Each structure stands twice: as structure tokens, then as C-alpha cells.
Chain A
Amino acid sequence: MADIVDIAVSNDAFKTLVAAVSAAGLVETLKSPGPFTVFAPTDEAFAKLPPGTITTLLQNIPQLARILTYHVVPGKLTKADLAKLGTVTSVEGSPIKINCEDGFEVKNATVLAADIDADNGVIHVIDTVILMG
């Protein structure tokens, strides 16, 4: 099986995410044994952000890394696990609300594909970049 980074790289829907993760120097972390739960926004999710947001973040790597680590939760949490927890704390430090009442929503994002298994964790694909607050 492949790790979280390999899965993202092999999929064409995550070009922006992969570029951002490598710019932020988080590749090694996400290749480590972990395990991690990653909420992976698609390219379309990044495209929904207003203009300039990504430009500023790419100029400021620690700030970019902070937004990205908000999408990562320690431990391997499947949809079933997340539904039980309700709220999880991200690696960034801020809480993320999970709503599984109908469908599967992570904060204000909808999960497009859940429970993609990786060597060092699990990936849930989301349609919106989630932000702290």
C-alpha cells in the first residue's frame, strides 16, 4: 500500500494540495509513520478561495503550513470514528466539527470520498478548504 503523500501525488485532483504541501515542507511529516487523518481539499476546493489568498500564503510558508496542518488530525479516524467523536482537534490546535447526521460534513465542507486507506493513516476528500475559527 502507499502512504498519504503517494496517494495524493498519484491522483490528478490534488495538484494544488501536493504543491502546497511540498512548498510548506510537510512532505516528510506526512510520509512518517503517523498515523494521521487527512482532510484533503481537491483542486476545485482551492479554486473557490478568493484571489490573492494563495499568493499571500505561498509567500509566507509558516502561515501556509499552519492552514495545512489544520487539515490534519492525529490518529487514524474513519468516518465511523469521526461520527462518534463529533469534534476533533487538529494538529494546528483548533477544533474541527464533524457532522454525520445526513451525509458526512467536516465543518463547512462536504466529504466527497471517505475512508481512503493509506499505510500511515486515512484520507477523506473534501470539497472546500476548511479554515480555523
Chain B
Amino acid sequence: MVQTSDKPTTKIPPSKHEFAEIIHRLEAGGSMLPDTPENLMQIIGIYKAYAVPMDFYWRDLLYIAERVFLDPLPAFKYFLPQEYLDLHNHYAGDDADLRIWRGVATAHPELLAFMEKGETTKMPKIFHHLFHDRINMEFAEACMQAMLWHRKMYAPVNQFDAYLDSEEYKANADKAIKAYFRKNPLMSGLYKLFPDMFLEQCRMMSYYSNLGLFWEVMAPVFFEMSDIYDEGGFKGVPDAMNFLINGIFAIAGRPIYHHVYIDGECYEIIPKSKGFTWLYEAALPYVEAVFYRTAPFRGTKSYNAQAGQVPADQKDFHYGILYADVFPVGTAGIPPTLLMQDMLHFLPQYLVDYYQEYCRGEEDILIQLGITFQRSMYNVTSAVIQALRTALLYPLDDENPKHLQANREFFEMQLNRFTRTDYNMRDAARLWDIQRQDYR
């Protein structure tokens, strides 16, 4: 029941691109992911499973950025205090700025239940941590690092990054660093000797805040999508994509900032008044850094400089989820395993039943859900592409053929990222695979 029309619905001649079918689908208001009930069920189920650990990630990212800050021995940075579990999400609950999810503003009940019992039984947090019966927060930190290491993206539209190098930022950070180490002469002395070392750590903290504020929005969006699906509200994959597009626009203007709390006082390292926005300073850099680029997996690529496997230029990095080989998930050197393991705890029953019918059933469930996750992220990326087209180009039903041609060129340019031959990028891209239902 794939509802992809071979004929373009637009008034311009058909595309000659190798992904012409997908381009025509995008021009008809569709997603890169084919519209089948099976795909819809998979992606919504995995959004739900992703949103619960994400509810932990954003809270802990903000906790680290705002409270742990430059702690030289942050041994307990994953031990989320009650205050941050009770923190109200700005887009859920009764007192939301703009209510996206109809559920609670505090931490998700399934997350709280998992934190209490984990896969084992009720015991103090420290034992859950030591037995590795916990949320893999390292995955969230890896995403943060991807953003930090791929700086200079989207300049001059992304102004957050340039600000981190400004004198104003350095002065703000200096005040906070001095206050933070006020009672620690050793660290204060080190700061005098090596100021840049501390400043760079502070920039990293600003990225913790950036990503935390980004995911604070995505968690309620995914929860609400799951609820709408359960109520029978989505009729197909394009509906789910359109919900994401509307979400992107609704929140586009939320501020991105970095506040640090030291001895009850707030230090505005990046104040809200800088005008940094969710869309330009968090969402778009995130998509580029995490969906497309990230860093080569230690388990699949050689970093040997002579071998030339890893590109010299960061813009050629292609190790994000859209290119990832999911089959080795669960083996050494494959970072997304951390996330797959996290999502495993929160799968809706219909998805567990579904996986049991295919491949090795429960045995290779991490791989199956990983591939589902890849499908779902192609849908999120489609939403981003359609949102950009809405913001920067023309409506799909525009009367002017020149405008339609501009849209066409934009879609083709986006899909060209999956056809480049250098570094085997075209073989790595999974766009063809997700067109097939038997890719699991």
C-alpha cells in the first residue's frame, strides 16, 4: 500500500534525479519515508521510546550546564537531583508557555519508574549506576560533543557559535568561573595560569545548555505524537511529518541561553537578550551535526591518517544516523548502541510484538529497533527539509513555475547529500534501504 505516485503532481517536467520518485513525493507534500501503515506504526512507537530517555537527557544536560558547571571531578553528574526531575518542561503541563504535550510538565512517569527499579529492583541510585542499570547519558554527551566539534555551521545565520568567541562571552564566562572557584585557591590559581583551558570547558557547558534546551522541545513533541496516534489521529506518515513541521515553526523563536547558578546567584553567560533562537542556534546545527555528520565510529572506520578513510574536511563527515550501518549495533565501537539500549526499556507493546515476528525476534531487537529509529529520523529530517522549504522558498501549490523549479532545486540539492561518491558516502546513505519494507 505504498502511496507514492510515479507521476509528479506539479506543473513542471519530471525530475531526472536518481531519487526522482522521492523528490516527486516531497513535492506532493510527502516524506522521504514511504507512507505505509507499517512505517507509521514503527516511527511513532520509536518516537515514544525515544522521548522517555530524552526527558532524562534534557534535564541532565541542563543540570550539568547550570549546576555541575566546571566541577573538576564531576563523579555524580548523572545523579539528577529532585529539583531537576520536578523542573517544569516549558511545553508540557498546565503552566506551559505553549502547550504541546497534554501530559505532565515534570519528569515522565515511566522514566521515574525506571530510575527507581531499572531492569533489576529497587535500590539506591549509586548501585543502579555501578551495575550499569541506568539511562546511558553518555549518548547525550556524545551528541553535545558532535555539535561542539562541528562548530562554524550555518554562519552567519547561526550566531550562537560566533558569540562563544566574542569578548562579551569571555567577560561573562570570566565572572562565572571566578565565582565558581571562589573558595578553591588551587583551581583559581590554575585559572590564572591557563585561562583558555577553563574558557573552552565553559564553551562546552554552553553547548550542554544548547542541546538541553533543544531536547526540552522534542520530548513533548514526541509524547504528543504518540498520544495522537493512540487516539487514531494520524492517517499516514505525511500527517506525522506535518505535526513535526508545525512544532518546528511554533517553537522556532524560543530563546537559547546559558545560565549558571552559583551559591544561589544566577550568572547569565549567554543571556536570553542576545536573541538566539531555537531554530537557528539549536535545531539546524543539531540536525547537521548529529543527523548528518557526527564522528566516525571507532568500530567501523580506521582513523589511520595514511589510510585516508576519514575525511580531512569536517563538512564531508557522514556518520550521522542517516548514514549509519545499524547491523553492528550491540558490538564494540558502535556509539548508537547506547541509545538503542535506552530506548529498549520504553518500547510500546505493539512494537515489541512486531519485532518478535521478524528476524531473530527478541534476540536482535536492538538492531530492529535501531533500523526503525533510522526510518523515524529520515522522517524528522524530511520535516526539517519541508520546514526550510516553507520558510525560505515557496508553497507546494504555488502557481508560478519558476517558484516550483526553485523548490525542485532545493529538494534535489538536499538529496544530493546522499549521492556523493567521495568516501563512499552514497553506499553509506540509507535512503534507498528505508524505501524497502524488508530492510529491518
> A-side interface residues toward B, CB under 8 Å?
49-53, 55-57, 59-60, 62-67, 93-95, 107-108, 131-133
Contact = CB atoms under 8 A, between A and B. Distances in A.
Contacts of A94: 156-157
B190 interface: no
9 contacts: A52-B246, A56-B250, A63-B275, A65-B275, A66-B275, A66-B277, A67-B253, A93-B156, A133-B391
B275 A55 contact: no
The 10 closest A-B pairs by CB, nearest first: A52-B250, A66-B275, A50-B249, A62-B275, A57-B253, A63-B253, A56-B253, A131-B391, A62-B273, A132-B157
Among B276, B284, B392, residue most surrounded by chain A Cβ atoms (within 10 Å): B392
B277 A133 contact: no
Contacts of A65: 275
B344 interface: no
Contact of A52 (B157, B251, B393, B394): B251
Interface residues of B, number: 30
Contacts of B153: none
Given A50-B245, A93-B156, A93-B159, A60 B392 contact: no
A97 B12 CA distance: 24
Interface in B94-127: 97-98
A98 to B, nearest CB: 15
Contact of A62 (B245, B274, B403): B274
Contact of B272 (A55, A62, A93): A62
Given A52-B246, A56-B97, A133 B253 contact: no
Given A53-B253, A56-B250, A59-B97, 7 more contacts: A52-B250, A53-B249, A53-B250, A62-B273, A62-B275, A93-B156, A108-B392
Contacts of B280: 132-133
A60 B246 CA distance: 19
B212 interface: no
B255 interface: yes
A121 to B, nearest CB: 22
B253 to A, nearest CB: 4
Interface in B381-437: 388, 390-394, 403
Counting chain B CB atoms within 10 Å of each CB, the highest count among A57, A62, A93 belongs to A62
B254 interface: yes
Contacts of A93: 156, 159
A133 B245 contact: no
B252 interface: yes
Contact of B254 (A51, A56, A66): A56
Contact of B394 (A63, A108, A132): A108
A39 B14 CA distance: 35
Contact of A56 (B245, B251, B392, B394): B251
Nearest to B162: A93
A51 B246 contact: yes
Interface string B215-249: 00000000000000000000000000000011001
